[in-house]
Structure 1
Amino acid sequence: MRPQTLIDTHGRVATDLRVSLTDRCNLRCTYCMPEEGLQWLAKPDLLTDDEIVRLIGIAVTSLGIEEVRFTGGEPLLRPGLVGIVERVAALEPRPQMSLTTNGIGLKRTATALKAAGLDRVNVSLDTLRPDVFQTLTRRDRHKDVIEGLYAAHDAGLTPVKVNSVLMPGLNDDEAPDLLAWAVEHTYELRFIEQMPLDAQHGWKRDGMITAGDILTSLRTRFALTSEGEKRGSAPAERWLVDGGPHVVGVIASVTRPFCAACDRTRLTADGQVRTCLFATEETDLRAVLRSGAPDEEIARIWRLAMWGKKAGAGLDDPSFVRPQRPMSAIGG
């Protein structure tokens, strides 16, 4: 029997679940958090491995979820990650599974994650220059990320996607170099507009590097043609590079929002359902789960939360209010 879906009042159906495994990170990217870090969630507030697997199981078997993306913070910091992946891979029906990571721990974990059932990875890398990487992330770990990318590719976690954010005055001149490098290594590069989700509230729309800026820069070296297919719920607009087969994507959450086709639901590391990356309200599944509620009741509450999803994030609305949580505590 087809599970009851996570449909909202605008007719959108959520089939993609983003699961944050931790709010902690071993980088301090300037567009995400301050140098000293943040006040991390206390361990008792975090979902346990068993609770995460149970909630994902409800989503997959009762709510129509087809894809699961593990995020953070940095999900490779979660001690039980491999075991969680293995248990989710055993669900029927088996969801597609991916991981968004900064790549630092991939060299030692890629093979185990592939064996556990992970399908692919998205790795964040904003620059090819180690000195700029250290300025952006406040850590000297560029080599570790590059080695992590190699390990992911060798382990078969493909297609390996690379996510890059361009920042004014730091790496905004690197778009063509990043694309040439990605093509050389058969990675799929995706540029992401900086979003108003930094903990220090330093984001300003004026001066941000837009999708238009990125495409203009790329076209100084490459011929880009639209892939021609409707992107549907995919966040990235994709372009063929020099006629293909390589592609580059641009995720323009700010200047070209794609809310009308959004198919995502989000679960934070402390068990809160979020209907949108920019939502200001959450629904507490952790408390319901720990109160002893059966799966059917948890599914009912999850469906009710998603039913009330807003039409859009509202970044262009003068009344837009930033979410209280920063990106690291929401999950990418």
Structure 2
Amino acid sequence: MTNEPLVDGFNRRMEYLRVSITDRCNLKCAYCAPSVTSSSRASSCDMLQDDDFLRLINVFACLGIRKVRLTGGEPLARRGAVGLIERIGRIPGVMEMALTTNGTGLKPVAEELARAGVARVNISLDTLSRHKYRKITGRDGFNRALEGFHAALSAGFSTVKVNTVVMAGVNDDEVEEFARLSIGMKAQFRFIEFMPTSAGLWSKEKFVPMSEVKRLVEKLGPLIPASRRQWGGPAEVYRLANAQGEVGFISAVSRHFCADCNRLRITSSGKLMTCLFGGEDLDLREMMRSGSTDAQIAEAIRHAVINKNAVRSLPEENETRLAMACVGG
């Protein structure tokens, strides 16, 4: 198995792997998971085991992947998640490990995750209202999510980010309130356009372009560009004057960032996805079950990556989608 960089047909180097360790979640956000059980959701026997994840991530690390982000579903809903994460952090070549969570189960394990090697934590939080939270998520977990956020701030992670999907008539009236939090808190508050990732779950009426979100934030003062970090991702990051934290804007729909894409995704059932908006490209679980060697798996990954699309395909062009809960965002 060669250690040559993993580069696609458009000379984009893949260094960032998002791994969904479960498609289960304790919340039922309408834009993330369908209201009924999806046939694409993995059964317990289809879900990758810990050793499967470790094997695959090791193969990807040998191919030049340097950052691994653990997602879900809700990753902390997986039994033994912290132990798995600790083992992933010991894989040679993995230089940074991150976690995306809804925060509701974060408080009891935040410090343990930091000790396990998690450097960055993203917390999905779409509202600062308990009433709205219950309406959006279908659960009364607002207080636990806030407790998780505050636990993350004190646990020793290098970066804590809050991800907010902005939806017209739902939470667009809270944009300034979220941005204002960056003044007194050392965290990054990121606004994300409502993405059409699952057929039937997206509505143009709820879409708010990031240009409008930025205009709302600028009511608080001029935005000062922040320095771009390694593996910084698609967010445009700024700081308000005298703020401890930052604000970020992700224009996932109105201005795609395909030209700089450096990421791949593995679903909880072992499917490799080269694009969030694309289909399932390669069944890595089946390759492992059929006895493929690491070298054969690596070669198949290279082949999938070399055929990675130059730009994504939105639902109007391709309506077949996995729910976000199955992909991991």
Normalized against structure 1, the TM-score is what? 0.93
* Contact 2:180–2:220 (8 Å) recurs in 1: no
- How far does residue 116 in structure 1 lie from its aligned partner after superposition? 1.5
Distance, in Å, in 2 between the alignment partners of 1:114 and 1:331 is 21
- How far does residue 229 in structure 1 lie from its aligned partner after superposition? 5.3
Partner amino acid, structure 1, of 2:262: D
Distance, in Å, in 2 between the alignment partners of 1:80 and 1:37 is 24
Match of 1:326 in 2: 323
Q: Deviations over 1:38-71 (max 9, x none)?
A: 45411110110000011001111x2000000000
| Identity among equivalent pairs (%) | 40
Match of 1:277 in 2: 276
Higher deviation after alignment, 27-36 or 304-313: 27-36
* Contact 1:280–1:322 (8 Å) recurs in 2: no
CA separation of 1:139/1:270 partners in 2, compared to 1, >3 Å: closer, same or farther?
same
CA separation of 1:139/1:65 partners in 2, compared to 1, >3 Å: closer, same or farther?
same
- How far does residue 169 in structure 1 lie from its aligned partner after superposition? 1.1
Match of 1:118 in 2: 118
- How far does residue 7 in structure 1 lie from its aligned partner after superposition? 1.0
- How far does residue 75 in structure 1 lie from its aligned partner after superposition? 0.4
The secondary structure found in structure 2 opposite 1:312 is coil
The secondary structure found in structure 2 opposite 1:24 is coil
* Contact 2:187–2:246 (8 Å) recurs in 1: no
- How far does residue 33 in structure 1 lie from its aligned partner after superposition? 2.4
- How far does residue 4 in structure 1 lie from its aligned partner after superposition? 1.8
Tell me if 1:170 matches 2:170.
Answer: yes
Higher deviation after alignment, 135-144 or 183-192: 183-192
Distance, in Å, in 2 between the alignment partners of 1:299 and 1:42 is 26
* Contact 1:28–1:137 (8 Å) recurs in 2: yes
Tell me if 1:46 matches 2:33.
Answer: no
Q: Deviations over 1:298-325 (max 9, x none)?
A: 111111111100001133xx96213421
Higher deviation after alignment, 271-280 or 153-162: 153-162
Match of 2:6 in 1: 6
Normalized against structure 2, the TM-score is what? 0.94
- How far does residue 185 in structure 1 lie from its aligned partner after superposition? 2.3
Q: Deviations over 1:3-54 (max 9, x none)?
A: 2222111110110000001111111112222445545411110110000011
Match of 1:57 in 2: 58
Match of 1:31 in 2: 31
Higher deviation after alignment, 121-130 or 88-97: 88-97
Match of 1:68 in 2: 68
Higher deviation after alignment, 246-255 or 260-269: 246-255
- How far does residue 127 in structure 1 lie from its aligned partner after superposition? 0.9
Match of 1:134 in 2: 134
Q: Deviations over 1:98-143 (max 9, x none)?
A: 0000001001111221122111210001111111111111111100
CA separation of 1:243/1:3 partners in 2, compared to 1, >3 Å: closer, same or farther?
farther
* Contact 2:224–2:238 (8 Å) recurs in 1: yes
* Contact 2:176–2:217 (8 Å) recurs in 1: yes
Higher deviation after alignment, 249-258 or 3-12: 3-12
* Contact 1:107–1:148 (8 Å) recurs in 2: yes
* Contact 1:5–1:303 (8 Å) recurs in 2: no
* Contact 1:197–1:322 (8 Å) recurs in 2: no
The secondary structure found in structure 1 opposite 2:204 is coil
Q: Deviations over 1:132-167 (max 9, x none)?
A: 111111111100000001111211123110000111
* Contact 2:103–2:144 (8 Å) recurs in 1: yes
Distance, in Å, in 1 between the alignment partners of 2:77 and 2:229 is 36
The secondary structure found in structure 1 opposite 2:123 is strand
The secondary structure found in structure 2 opposite 1:43 is coil
Match of 2:293 in 1: 294
Match of 1:196 in 2: 196
